Structure 1
């Protein structure tokens, strides 16, 4: 059913956010004041009220969040599309236990909205493939997800 609004993650979404997956992230651009959308994959629901994600600590996303803490994650799951809105902040400038300089960002959820257009459902979720060394990618993904779980 479209246009449902919740104050926190529902169980199917929480479960989907326990593993690396494709989502888009919208922030307010620190230079233009307009929308900025990025695709990210290192995302984890810490609990029903909090989502973590990791990005390069030199990313434009970090500067955007430091200037304006509003953020939205767009998640395609549970046969629908969801907008997960909240306030974001850098929890760790450098995520521990990871060889890259990744920042850990925390979003405190204020609203989860089903934004799928009326009378429809998602029949296939987005998929992606890593284009670099598969073993190295799997090792790094595990390190990042483990570090986020420990944070």
Structure 2
């Protein structure tokens, strides 16, 4: 997909966003107007034009999106790095079926760009591990993903 701009997620990218992964989310800060970048992991592509994510509903991310819905997520996977831009909207202030106070946000994808520098490819994708109780983390992950699929 190098040097191409796609209007939606491709069939190769869609499954990469249908599992928990390390994603960088860029919003526009509601106070300064400057870029604001956060790492998130509860992400799910509903289809090729819609990507959902869950974050603490007290997060600065939520305030930023309410003020200005333009966002970009950075996905490292499939051998490259992708910039996925669109318009985000908070669709639920408090997700049902989740013990934490999480907001559900949905991005309507506007464009997808392969932004990997020329002549290279990703050979190891970012990996992370939860540093709290594994059983509790797995249970919470299932609850959040189930709620995002509704």
The reply on whether 1:118 has 2:118 as its aligned counterpart is yes
**Aligned equivalents of 1:11, 1:143: Cα separation in 2:** 26
> What SS does the corresponding residue of 2:13 show, helix, strand or coil?
helix
Tell me what 2:32 maps to: 32
> What SS does the corresponding residue of 2:142 show, helix, strand or coil?
helix
Tell me what 2:48 maps to: 48
Per-residue deviation at 1:24?
0.4
User: Aligned ranges for residues 3-42 of structure 1 at < 5 Å?
Assistant: 3-42=3-42
Per-residue deviation at 1:143?
0.5
What is the CA deviation profile of residues 73-131 of structure 1, one whole-angstrom value per residue up to 9, with x for unaligned ones?
00001100000000000011111110000000000000000000111100000000100
Segments of 4+ in structure 1 off by > 6 A? none
Tell me what 2:132 maps to: 132
What is the CA deviation profile of residues 42-70 of structure 1, one whole-angstrom value per residue up to 9, with x for unaligned ones?
00001100000000000000000011110
Per-residue deviation at 1:13?
1.0
RMSD: 0.7
> What SS does the corresponding residue of 2:12 show, helix, strand or coil?
helix
Tell me what 2:142 maps to: 142
Per-residue deviation at 1:3?
2.1
> What SS does the corresponding residue of 1:99 show, helix, strand or coil?
coil
Stretches of structure 2 that go unaligned for 5 or more consecutive residues are none
TM-score (structure 1 length as normaliser): 0.98
> What SS does the corresponding residue of 2:55 show, helix, strand or coil?
strand
**Aligned equivalents of 1:96, 1:7: Cα separation in 2:** 31
**Aligned equivalents of 2:25, 2:34: Cα separation in 1:** 14
Per-residue deviation at 1:4?
1.9
User: Aligned ranges for residues 66-145 of structure 1 at < 5 Å?
Assistant: 66-145=66-145
Stretches of structure 1 that go unaligned for 5 or more consecutive residues are none
